[in-house]
Structure 1
Amino acid sequence: MASVSPSNSAARRIGIIAGSGSLPLALATTLRSRGETPFLLLVEGEAEVSQYADFPHEVIRITKVGRFLKALARESCTHITLAGPVKRPDLKNLLPDMEGMKLLGRITGAARKGDDGLMRAITSYVKEKGFTVVGVHELASDLLVPLGCLGKIAPTERDNTDITAGVRIVKAVGALDIGQAAIIRDGYVLAVEAAEGTDKLLKRSREFAWDEPAGVLVKLSKPGQELKADMPTIGPDTVTLAAEANLRGIAAEAGFTLVLDLKETLRRANEAGLFVVGLDSQSMGE
């Protein structure tokens, strides 16, 4: 997968539009470790502001498009990335500024096409304003799930059968822009991710848990997904919730899924007896 070379970092400054979760902080920390100084626009009501005290940042409402464009220009940002989920805004209660009004017509129509349509409209608009839009995966390839069995536990033949079935299911629901994950047990679909996200999917599946561990969480990118704005993500909390649902393991698409704190993710998986594997989904589930 293509990436933005660190060798070009002297000629750029990264602006991170930060939503919820730990991904924005992980990305900012990675960039700083390379000698870069990212600027973060913290989406009001989404980003945990106290986490970013050590980074230059500003808190902005997602609808104040003009304000965040001015902030990015003021901070000499050349490249923009979106990191962390942001709830789809309630279009009835928006109070946009002038730039937000210009964008509103686009996102109103795009939102009807699902999350991918919405993200494409936003990234296209930012590009038109002269910024280069890049994906988290292009800035920090070390945050991507590697290929193969990642921990001490390996999937069994039964698990691999569930993984293959899960890939087919997730590709099908992803093509409809429904979700990026499903839980499969003995070939049966226990739950499919929708707008609630993977954490709530796992919490919801706890009521279906067997006495013995069984079932697999399969997580893939959607076909044709706008990866610059939205990528599937797993991390330590995913493992904890999968263990609470008494699953056997997690299978995520290698190279197209972000993993937060791989070391801690695998520590928890090994401790809980769960496998974590990175899939070459292109060779499966056809």
Structure 2
Amino acid sequence: MLALIVGNGALPRAVAAAQDVPPLVCALAGHAPDGLTPDITFRVEHLGSLLRRLKRAGVTRICLCGKVDRPDISLKRLDWRTALMLPRMLKALKLGDDGALRIVIALFEAGGFAVEAAHEAAPDLLPPAGVLTAAPLSDSAEADARAGDAAIAAMGRADLGQACLVRHGAVLATETETGTDALIVGQGQAGAVLYKAPKPDQDRRADLPTIGPDTARNAVAAGLSGLVIEAGGVMVLDLPVVQDILDAAGLFLWVRERPV
């Protein structure tokens, strides 16, 4: 049986909808997935008890999906099972995103669960490679993509961000903890390209980059020329809707295979 450990956004609903057998949906308190009602809501201070509950329910597989803000841990609220995990949990809170997620994954694995990536549970979220829109690539798209590769590599070393804005081979801005939509909306860089890819060597079982209709609408509103995402490395929610939005505005979507 599959359990989804979910945060905010539309990704949990997409993963749940892809399952033949409805998964058990477990939401972290204060995080509400879009259009999906949790079966269980839990506090991070009760994670140990949650794992025991999942085992008793017959859960064998876990999928982490959705955006989760770093929680504040109240020592007074800890149950004894979670208290045993406290040193690793505190270490996770001090690390960057990928480092923290590796520890979270390790906690679930130590509890006897197989951790499955969202794109493994819902393979159709990964679009095929190629230009998926009517608009052709811009003349600088290849140079922009190469600049994006370098920027993501540098961001990966700092364990922060999975997207950047590039124009004519120059990086204009990089993603912070505020996310991709804030990057697009906050910059006003008309004619730029949004480049999005996983950080090198990140554990792809959690936090794989995602775009969707909101990303497309924001790109149009900001006057971007197109989007470049890594083939096999970025999930797309509601791909037909994304294509329609971009086609109507003349933007391109390039699902690019990273050069070897």
* Fold match by TM threshold 0.5: yes
Q: Please give the alpha-carbon distance, in whole angstroms, between the structure 1 residues aligned to 2:106 and 2:195.
A: 30
Q: Please give the alpha-carbon distance, in whole angstroms, between the structure 2 residues aligned to 1:204 and 1:92.
A: 34
Which of 244, 249, 260 is residue 221 of structure 2 equivalent to?
244
Which runs of 5 or more residues in structure 1 are unaligned? 1-12
Q: Please give the alpha-carbon distance, in whole angstroms, between the structure 2 residues aligned to 1:164 and 1:73.
A: 45
Which of 249, 256, 260 is residue 279 of structure 1 equivalent to?
256
Worse-matched range after superposition: 177-186 or 64-73? 64-73
Q: Please give the alpha-carbon distance, in whole angstroms, between the structure 1 residues aligned to 2:49 and 2:12.
A: 20
Amino acid at match of 2:207: D
Report the CA distance between 1:243 and its aligned residue. 1.1
Aligned length: 260
The answer to whether the 8 Å contact 1:232/1:257 transfers is yes
The answer for the alignment partner of 1:205 in structure 2 is 187
The answer for the alignment partner of 2:43 in structure 1 is 61
The answer to whether the 8 Å contact 1:159/1:248 transfers is no
Report the CA distance between 1:169 and its aligned residue. 1.2
Report the CA distance between 1:60 and its aligned residue. 1.4
- Asked whether 1:157 is paired with 2:139, we answer yes
The answer for the alignment partner of 2:66 in structure 1 is 84
Q: Please give the alpha-carbon distance, in whole angstroms, between the structure 2 residues aligned to 1:46 and 1:94.
A: 21
The answer for the alignment partner of 2:193 in structure 1 is 216
The answer for the alignment partner of 1:16 in structure 2 is 4
Q: 1:132-281 to 2 correspondence within 5 Å? A: 132-206=114-188, 209-210=189-190, 214-281=191-258
Report the CA distance between 1:92 and its aligned residue. 6.6
Report sequence identity in percent: 36
Q: Please give the alpha-carbon distance, in whole angstroms, between the structure 2 residues aligned to 1:231 and 1:198.
A: 13
The answer for the alignment partner of 1:4 in structure 2 is none
SS for the counterpart of 1:277 is strand
Per-residue CA distance 1:27-85 (angstroms, 9 max, x = gap):
00111xxx212110012211247x224xx711112332023213312321110010011
Report the CA distance between 1:166 and its aligned residue. 1.6
Amino acid at match of 2:210: T
Do the aligned partners of residues 76 and 216 (structure 1) sit closer, same or farther apart at CA in structure 2, a change above 3 Å counting?
A: same
Q: CA RMSD in A?
A: 1.8
SS for the counterpart of 1:178 is coil
Per-residue CA distance 1:82-120 (angstroms, 9 max, x = gap):
001101123477833223222221122233331111111
The answer to whether the 8 Å contact 2:162/2:197 transfers is yes
Report the CA distance between 1:222 and its aligned residue. 0.6
The answer to whether the 8 Å contact 1:145/1:278 transfers is yes
Q: 1:93-132 to 2 correspondence within 5 Å? A: 95-132=77-114
Q: Please give the alpha-carbon distance, in whole angstroms, between the structure 2 residues aligned to 1:99 and 1:205.
A: 45
Q: Please give the alpha-carbon distance, in whole angstroms, between the structure 1 residues aligned to 2:8 and 2:226.
A: 25
Report the CA distance between 1:190 and its aligned residue. 1.7
The answer to whether the 8 Å contact 1:23/1:260 transfers is yes
The answer to whether the 8 Å contact 1:171/1:220 transfers is no
Q: Please give the alpha-carbon distance, in whole angstroms, between the structure 1 residues aligned to 2:87 and 2:95.
A: 13
The answer for the alignment partner of 1:5 in structure 2 is none
- Asked whether 1:36 is paired with 2:21, we answer yes
The answer to whether the 8 Å contact 2:33/2:66 transfers is no
Q: Please give the alpha-carbon distance, in whole angstroms, between the structure 1 residues aligned to 2:237 and 2:82.
A: 32
SS for the counterpart of 1:250 is strand
SS for the counterpart of 2:229 is strand
